[in-house]
Structures are given as C-alpha cells and as structure tokens.
Amino acid sequence: MSAPIALGKFPRAILHIDGDAFFASCEQARNPELRGKPVITGKERGIAASMSYEAKAKGVTRAMRLSEIKKLCPEAIILPSDYETYSLLSKRFFDIVRRYTPDVEEYGIDECFADLTGWQRPFHMSYTKIAEKLQDDLTKELGFTFSIGLASTKVLAKLGSKWNKPNGLTAIPNRKIHLYLENLPIGKPWGIGPQTSSLLQKYGVHTCLDFVRRDKEWVQKYFPKPIQEIWSELRGESVMPLQIEPRADHYSIQKMKTFTPPSNDPRFVFAQLCKNIESACMKARGYKLEAKKVYILLRTQNYEHHSTEVKLSRPTNFAHELIDLLKPEFDNLFKKGVLYRATMIGLIELQEPNLQPDLFGSSLKIDGFRRLYEKIDEVRAKYGKHTIHFGASFLAHQFTQHSGERGRVPERKNHLFKGETSRKRVGIPTFSTELD
C-alpha cells in the first residue's frame, strides 16, 4: 500500500451536494406513478436533459436524442421540462443546506458546495454526522435523494459526491486521499479536460495519484495556474474559495431556443434570433445592465455551430439596435440549404448604465428609447412576454416553439389552481393530482 500524501482528517470541511438525477427525481417525487420507471425530461428540446436511474440503467445518457431513446428503451416516459417546479425545489435545496451553514456556493440548479468548517462543536456532531443529517433532511423534505462528498477541498468533495451515487455519502479525510486517487484516471477530477488529460498522460501521469506525487515545481513548469490549483486541491490543500455571493450570472446573459422542425428559411431563423434578442434585452433591462459585446450562434441540424462576436460602440440593452446591427452578421453566417435547429444570443461584458450625457448629444434620444422600453416592459409584465414584439420576430411568434407532440407543456402549466393564471402561479411545488 502506498504512503499517504497528506495528514490529518479535515483541516477544512467542504461538502459537495449533488441532486441525484435532479429533474427526473423532481418528477418522480411529485408523481408516484413515475417511480421505479425510466423517466426522461427534456421532451421540448428533443434530447434527454435528465434521466432517472432506471433510465440510466437502460443505457440512456444525457443529451441523447429522443428518437434514439425510444429505440433503446421503448417504455421510457418522456416528459417536458417543468423548470418552474425544478427551480422551486432547487431553492428549497439550498435553503435546507443553509440551515447547517451560511457558507453555501450555489454551483448549479442541482448542486452546491457548503463549508462546514468549525461547525462540529456547535452541533456536537462530527462532520460526517452533520452531512448525514443534512442528507436525511433533504430526502425527507424534498422526497428524493442527494449524494454528498465531504473533504478538505472542493475538488475532492466533488470527487466524493460522484464516488457512490445515488444517495451516497463519501468522506475523504486527508490521510486517506491516496486511497481514493490510486486508481482514479487522470481525466476524472473536476476541471481536468480531455486536452490536459492527454497531455498529462504524455508525461506518464495516468492516475490522479501519479499526478499528486509529482512535485510542485514540475506542475508549475508545465501547467497553467488552474491545473496547479487542482493539483493542490487534490492534495488536500484548499486553494479554491467558495463563492458565497449569489453567482453573478447576469454578468452575461444568454438566450438560446431550439425550434422544431428545423428550418432553412433565413427569414424564419432570423425571426427566431430576434425573439431571443428581445428576451435577452428584456432580461438585461430587468437587471439594469447594458452589454458592451454581443455574440450570436446558429446551430445546424447536425449540431455544428457557427458564431460571431460584435463589439459595440456604446453599451446597450435596446433590442432594435442589436437587431439592426446583427442582421448583416446573421446574413454572413447563414448558409443556404442548411437546416438550422437553434439560435442563440449572448450579451457579454454587461455593466451598469452610464448615465452621464455623452459628447455627441444622442443622450436625449437614448433617454426617449429608455422610457419607451420601460413602457414596453410594463405591458409585457402585465399581459405576457410576447404581447408586444418586433415585426422582425413576427414569424417566430406565429407558431408554438415546437410543432407536433414536442410542443407539450408540463402538467403544472396546464393544471391551474383556482385564481392562478397562466402567467402567475403559487410559488409552492405541487403533487400530481391523481387521488381516489
């Protein structure tokens, strides 16, 4: 047996908590008829967004196309995504974790890091016991399982949560790190991609243990800082702080929508892009942010991507300005005879508006548009997001986003409680309503 690479147990105690098949589990928790069956969400996207463990057992993987899934697993139950319910449960998930520590990094809708360092004494429990109790609360109150990794660093905690899924709890104290890394392929840890992994293998590093046995100078010589950090973290030295503040996701805003059937009509595809531009700009205005740069992306039927980026002379969140500006860029990207299935807009380098008058006196005009968009947003907030839109996106508003059976909406949106409207529902997750 090899020698340990670090001493002690938990100089820091970091949890990584990961919802098991989160979206599919949210569905199984609200509807007992789905339990024990292969459940897949993502119907409206045409690919599996999340699949229950029963579906995983049949070989269904993430992003698999629905047509393929039907061949592989004909009994699969394929549901449209119900993001409203998933978000409500995600928020509850984080709230429950915060009962145990305020230091929580919401890393995704279905996973978070939590720093428990120092909480053993107040709770009169070991870190492992606290993690068990938290896991129990989550399962009891949300109705499905979570996997937890406990270690001194984020990278190790993340390895731990994956170690034994579903419903696993894996604690990796520092003095046992080497046992976990011994046979772990170098491509496994969070942050080591295929490029880095193949480069490491060229240097004879095949397992994570090989990697952490190399000395610091060697890593510093051949690899950039992010990889050096992973090296430290794998050795049990915490160098990646938790990002406790709500993630500044809105510092960039993306809107991507897939449509079916795919189209090769430039007017239709451009209308789809315009609809995304309008939604993205509305969101940016909601956050009171303006973009300095934007990019657009077209996805073909064969999943090829074509994109371009544009730097703006002045930050903006006005849709009409972006539509005018991006039309020629779109024409350059668009290839005749190619089928497209999705468009995307990204607003990047977002910043708060600079309210100072500019040199060229266009600020009055800008102020006029600002007030116009305020009114438009008010109307949209009251009567629905798509009640007012540009002529440019007209074609995208003509039909539902997906023709045929994929256009189905989740049960929650079809089943309204008295007093709810299609735009405003009670913020409490629901059980499916088959009762006798």
Find the shortest distance in angstroms from Cβ 356 to other proteins. 6
With a CB cutoff of 8 Å and minimum separation 6, the contacts of 349 are 252, 291, 292, 293, 315
Residues with active-site annotation: 111
Q: Does the CA dihedral 419-422-427-431 come out positive or negative? A: positive
- Pattern of binders to other proteins over 187-206, x per CB under 8 A? --------------------
Instruction: Establish if 432 lies at the interface with other proteins (CB under 8 A).
Output: yes
| 8 Å CB contact between 351 and 290 | yes
Whole-number minimum distance, CB 102 to other proteins, in Å?
A: 16
435 is a contact residue toward other proteins (CB under 8 A): yes
Q: Helix, strand, or coil here: 101?
A: coil
Candidate list 74, 194, 246, 419; residue touching other proteins; CB under 8 A: 419
Least distance between other proteins and beta carbon 130 (Å)? 17
Amino acid type, 403: S
Stretch that binds other proteins, among 67-75, 123-131, 137-145, 314-322 (CB under 8 A): 137-145
Tell me which residues in 342-361 interact with other proteins (CB under 8 A).
Answer: 354, 356
Interatomic CA distance for residues 94 and 410, integer angstroms: 24
The one-letter amino acid at 239: V
428 binds other proteins, rule: CB under 8 A: yes
Rg (C-alpha) for the chain, rounded Å, is 25
Query: What is the spatial distance between Cα 143 and Cα 164, in angstroms, rounded to a whole number?
Result: 19
- Of 75, 141, 215, 405, the one binding other proteins by CB under 8 A: 141
Q: What does the buried/exposed string (b/e) look like for 99-110 if buried means 16 or more CB atoms within 10 Å of the residue's CB? A: ebbebbbbbebb
- In the shown chain, the binding pattern of residues 228 to 267 toward other proteins, with x for contact by CB under 8 A and - for none, equals ----------------------------------------
Residues in contact with other proteins, counted by CB under 8 A, come to a total of 28
149 binds other proteins (CB under 8 A): no
Whether 270 contacts 392, CB under 8 Å: yes
Rank residues 30 and 285 by Cβ distance to other proteins and give the closer one. Answer: 30
Please tell me whether residue 273 adopts helix, strand or coil conformation.
Answer: helix
Residue 204 or 361 having the CB closest to other proteins: 361
Is 14 in a helix, a strand, or coil? strand
Question: Closest separation between CB of residue 265 and other proteins, Å?
Answer: 43
Does 143 bind other proteins (CB under 8 A)? Our answer is yes
Peptide bond into 173 cis (omega under 30): no
**By CB under 8 A, which span of 204-212, 257-265, 371-379, 411-419 interacts with other proteins?**
411-419
Q: How far is the CB of 366 from other proteins (least distance, A)?
A: 16
Cα 49 to Cα 28, 111, 143, 293, 335: the distances in Å are: 15, 15, 20, 29, 29
Taking residues 91 to 130 in sequence order and writing x for each that binds other proteins by CB under 8 A, - otherwise, the string is -x--xx----------------------------------
Q: Is 215 in the site for other proteins (CB under 8 A)?
A: no
Q: Which stretch binds other proteins (CB under 8 A): 19-27, 32-40, 216-224, 236-244?
A: 32-40
**What's the rounded Cα separation, in Å, for the pair 109 and 106?**
7
Contact 79, 66 (CB under 8 A): no
Cα–Cα distance between 97 and 138 in angstroms, integer? 8
Q: Which is nearer to other proteins, 135 or 272 (CB)?
A: 135
Q: How far is the CB of 211 from other proteins (least distance, A)?
A: 39
Residue whose structure tokens are 């996701």: 249
Residues that bind other proteins (CB under 8 A): 30, 32-33, 35, 92, 95-96, 137, 140-143, 354, 356, 415, 417-419, 426, 428-436
